[in-house]
Amino acid sequence: MKKRINNLSKKIKKNNLDGFITKNPANINYLTGINEAEGWLLVTAGKELFFFTAPIYTKLIKNLPYLKVISTKQNFEEKIVRKAKKLKLKKIGFSKQAISLTNYQKLNENFKVKDIGFVFSKPLINSLRMQKDKNEIRLIKKAASVSLEAFDYAGEIFQQTMSEKDLAIEIERFLKIKSDNKVAFPPIVASGKNTVFAHHQPKENLINNFFLIDLGAMHCGYCADLTRIFFWGKMPSLFQKAYDTIKKAHDTAISKIKEGKKVSEIDKVARDIVEKEGFGSYFLHGLGHGVGLEVHEPPYLKPNQDETLKEGMVVTIEPGIYYKNQFGLRLENMVVVHSKNGEVIS
């Protein structure tokens, strides 16, 4: 944690700030290890951390030497502003992704009264979280391993009398038994034409001979995100061509991953293959995204993104083809970025 706090302190100073505030649970967990309590975290350029939370959560928080817990039943904004004034902070940054408009307005009004600047900043903590350390990668690999087991389990228990919802419930139960008591996201089970919708919510309809499962375990707070396609019988020629296309795009993109590559370049490698085969207009989303304490986090592998891949990043590669109202295919794996290649961990 100390290394993370030191790195954030440097970023705060580099951005000419005296402090940075966040309400994002993943950011709070990353810097403090707190994952069960809601609240606000104020970090100063001088490496001081203040966590503002309700009394019901204080017993859940371990006694950490670098963290001061401030308990309050209400008026969080006033408590935060009073503490900032006492610390003589003049300029505090925030990320718009981590604070609601209502919270911003309340804090901004209170900071103005105390003559403290409250300014929009780059997502400083999120940028640190993009590069994982060895322990984080170990936890993500475990989440991926459990997720792979879940696909095997789904294949073992599947019956033709099952609905999408039935199978999704069983998958989620398996993931919770094998790892954390919550999942990275509710499993997606989509059959037939429902596969056209990338974020389909499982329904009561029975599963036919073709379905897609998108799932992710969570291990010690770290997420996985994988997708597999299940098919019984002979694939129609168009379906086979679409599958072969995404498989080639998937494999080729992974072969190009290494430190220093732009995320937009990796996306283009896959997108060019899909377009060449005539499915370009049916590839409806970015190629992938970062995974960590949140299942979707930077970097985002899509066109017009300037982010560069760095050692320790963990990203998904998930080309997809969503063909008219007939079928949707997506193949998704997770890759750790290294200096000379990408390591597939799923």
Distance separating alpha carbons of residues 145 and 333, to the nearest angstrom: 12
pLDDT at 200: 97
Residue 299 has which token pair? 């970097």
pLDDT at 185: 98
pLDDT at 86: 94
pLDDT at 64: 79
pLDDT at 293: 98
190: which strand partners?
212
Distance separating alpha carbons of residues 24 and 41, to the nearest angstrom: 9
pLDDT at 75: 81
Q: What tens digit of pLDDT does each residue of 159-209 get?
A: 989 999 999 999 999 999 999 999 999 999 999 999 999 999 999 999 998
Burial of residue 98 (number of CB atoms within 10 Å: 0-12, 13-18, 19+): buried
Please, which residues have CB within 8 angstroms of residue 105's CB and are 6 or more apart in sequence? none
Q: Which helix (H) or strand (E) holds 136?
A: helix 134-157
- Closest listed residue to residue 128, CA positions, set 301, 293, 320: 293
pLDDT at 35: 86
- Taking residue 196's Cβ as centre, other Cβ atoms within 10 Å add up to 19
pLDDT at 222: 98
pLDDT at 232: 87
- Which DSSP symbol is given to 199? T
Domains and CATH numbers, the chain: 2-129 (3.40.350.10), 134-344 (3.90.230.10)
In angstroms, how far is CA 296 from the centroid of its own chain?
2
Pair 337, 260: CB distance under 8 Å = no
26: which strand partners?
none
Pair 131, 4: CB distance under 8 Å = no
Distance separating alpha carbons of residues 96 and 13, to the nearest angstrom: 19
| SS3 label, residue 104 | helix
Burial of residue 241 (number of CB atoms within 10 Å: 0-12, 13-18, 19+): middle
Report the half-sphere exposure of 277 (CA within 13 A, side-chain side).
Answer: 22
The model's pTM: 0.94
What is the longest distance spanned by two Cα atoms in the chain?
71
Which residues, given as ranges, of the chain have pLDDT below 50?
A: none
Q: What angle do CA 284, 214, 273 make, to 5 degrees?
A: 40
